[in-house]
Amino acid sequence: MVLNHDSSKPIYVQIAEWLETEILNDQISTDEKIYSQYQLADLFNINPATAAKGLNILVNNGVLYKKRGLGMFVKERAKEQILLRRKNENLMNMVRDLVQEADYLKVDDEELMKMIQQIRLERRGES
Protein backbone atom coordinates (compact mmCIF):
# COMPACT_ATOMS: atom_id res chain seq x y z
CA MET A 1 0.00 0.00 0.00
CA VAL A 2 1.14 3.51 -0.77
CA LEU A 3 -0.08 6.37 1.37
CA ASN A 4 -1.57 9.32 -0.43
CA HIS A 5 0.15 12.36 1.05
CA ASP A 6 -1.99 14.64 -1.17
CA SER A 7 -5.26 13.23 0.16
CA SER A 8 -7.52 15.28 2.38
CA LYS A 9 -7.64 12.15 4.55
CA PRO A 10 -4.98 12.30 7.30
CA ILE A 11 -2.14 9.77 7.11
CA TYR A 12 -3.09 8.21 10.45
CA VAL A 13 -6.63 7.53 9.14
CA GLN A 14 -5.14 5.94 6.00
CA ILE A 15 -3.00 3.71 8.27
CA ALA A 16 -6.07 2.63 10.26
CA GLU A 17 -8.01 1.91 7.06
CA TRP A 18 -5.12 -0.07 5.61
CA LEU A 19 -4.92 -2.24 8.74
CA GLU A 20 -8.69 -2.76 8.63
CA THR A 21 -8.42 -3.85 5.01
CA GLU A 22 -5.65 -6.28 5.95
CA ILE A 23 -8.00 -7.76 8.56
CA LEU A 24 -10.89 -7.91 6.06
CA ASN A 25 -8.64 -9.67 3.53
CA ASP A 26 -7.57 -12.22 6.17
CA GLN A 27 -3.96 -11.04 6.01
CA ILE A 28 -4.15 -10.47 9.78
CA SER A 29 -6.24 -12.87 11.90
CA THR A 30 -8.00 -12.77 15.25
CA ASP A 31 -5.57 -12.65 18.19
CA GLU A 32 -2.65 -12.11 15.81
CA LYS A 33 -0.09 -9.51 16.76
CA ILE A 34 -0.11 -6.55 14.39
CA TYR A 35 2.60 -4.13 13.34
CA SER A 36 4.01 -1.87 16.03
CA GLN A 37 3.98 1.89 15.57
CA TYR A 38 7.70 1.70 14.78
CA GLN A 39 7.24 -1.04 12.18
CA LEU A 40 4.48 1.00 10.54
CA ALA A 41 6.66 4.11 10.66
CA ASP A 42 9.47 2.25 8.89
CA LEU A 43 7.11 0.59 6.42
CA PHE A 44 5.49 3.87 5.36
CA ASN A 45 8.34 6.27 6.13
CA ILE A 46 6.26 8.29 8.58
CA ASN A 47 6.61 9.57 12.13
CA PRO A 48 5.96 6.86 14.77
CA ALA A 49 3.51 9.21 16.51
CA THR A 50 1.42 9.32 13.32
CA ALA A 51 1.43 5.52 13.15
CA ALA A 52 0.44 5.37 16.82
CA LYS A 53 -2.57 7.60 16.12
CA GLY A 54 -3.71 5.15 13.45
CA LEU A 55 -3.36 2.23 15.83
CA ASN A 56 -5.23 4.10 18.55
CA ILE A 57 -8.18 4.65 16.22
CA LEU A 58 -8.49 0.88 15.96
CA VAL A 59 -8.11 0.41 19.71
CA ASN A 60 -10.81 3.03 20.32
CA ASN A 61 -13.06 1.34 17.74
CA GLY A 62 -12.67 -1.99 19.52
CA VAL A 63 -10.78 -3.66 16.66
CA LEU A 64 -7.45 -4.04 18.47
CA TYR A 65 -6.48 -4.69 22.07
CA LYS A 66 -3.22 -4.07 23.89
CA LYS A 67 -1.20 -6.62 25.83
CA ARG A 68 1.11 -4.71 28.09
CA GLY A 69 4.69 -5.23 27.01
CA LEU A 70 3.73 -7.45 24.07
CA GLY A 71 2.01 -5.16 21.58
CA MET A 72 -1.39 -4.92 19.95
CA PHE A 73 -3.54 -7.76 18.75
CA VAL A 74 -6.69 -8.21 16.68
CA LYS A 75 -9.82 -8.64 18.76
CA GLU A 76 -12.23 -11.50 18.26
CA ARG A 77 -15.01 -10.52 15.80
CA ALA A 78 -12.96 -7.54 14.57
CA LYS A 79 -13.72 -8.42 10.95
CA GLU A 80 -17.48 -8.42 11.55
CA GLN A 81 -17.22 -5.15 13.46
CA ILE A 82 -15.25 -3.47 10.65
CA LEU A 83 -17.74 -4.68 8.03
CA LEU A 84 -20.70 -3.40 10.04
CA ARG A 85 -19.12 0.00 10.71
CA ARG A 86 -18.03 0.50 7.10
CA LYS A 87 -21.47 -0.49 5.86
CA ASN A 88 -23.25 1.82 8.29
CA GLU A 89 -20.91 4.78 7.78
CA ASN A 90 -19.10 4.65 4.45
CA LEU A 91 -21.62 2.85 2.30
CA MET A 92 -24.59 4.79 3.64
CA ASN A 93 -22.80 8.08 2.91
CA MET A 94 -22.07 6.95 -0.63
CA VAL A 95 -25.70 5.91 -1.13
CA ARG A 96 -26.90 9.30 0.18
CA ASP A 97 -24.62 11.04 -2.32
CA LEU A 98 -25.77 8.74 -5.12
CA VAL A 99 -29.45 9.33 -4.38
CA GLN A 100 -28.88 13.08 -4.16
CA GLU A 101 -27.13 13.08 -7.56
CA ALA A 102 -29.89 10.90 -9.03
CA ASP A 103 -32.46 13.40 -7.79
CA TYR A 104 -30.55 16.27 -9.42
CA LEU A 105 -30.47 14.34 -12.69
CA LYS A 106 -34.13 13.30 -12.43
CA VAL A 107 -33.26 9.60 -12.35
CA ASP A 108 -36.17 7.70 -10.78
CA ASP A 109 -35.78 4.77 -8.38
CA GLU A 110 -36.44 2.15 -11.04
CA GLU A 111 -33.77 3.52 -13.38
CA LEU A 112 -31.29 3.88 -10.51
CA MET A 113 -31.89 0.27 -9.44
CA LYS A 114 -31.35 -0.92 -13.02
CA MET A 115 -28.04 0.94 -13.11
CA ILE A 116 -26.96 -0.68 -9.85
CA GLN A 117 -28.00 -4.12 -11.08
CA GLN A 118 -26.06 -3.58 -14.32
CA ILE A 119 -22.89 -2.68 -12.41
CA ARG A 120 -23.33 -5.79 -10.24
CA LEU A 121 -23.63 -7.97 -13.34
CA GLU A 122 -20.54 -6.37 -14.89
CA ARG A 123 -18.53 -6.97 -11.71
CA ARG A 124 -19.53 -10.63 -11.80
CA GLY A 125 -18.62 -10.84 -15.48
CA GLU A 126 -22.21 -11.47 -16.50
CA SER A 127 -22.76 -8.40 -18.68
**pLDDT confidence of residue 62:** 95
Average pLDDT of the segment spanning 30-56 = 96
Give me the domain span that covers residue 87: 79-124
Residues 54 and 104 in one domain: no
33 and 88 fall within a common domain:
no
Domain count, the chain: 2
Please give the average per-residue pLDDT across 73-93, as a whole number: 94
Q: CB under 8 Å to 16, separation ≥6 — which residues?
A: 54, 55, 57, 58
Asked, for residue 55, whether it belongs to a domain, the answer is yes
Distance separating alpha carbons of residues 15 and 109, to the nearest angstrom: 37
The verdict on residue 86 lying in a domain is yes
Q: pLDDT, tens digit, for every residue of 85-124? A: 999 988 999 999 999 999 999 999 999 999 999 999 999 9
Residue 104 resides in a domain:
yes
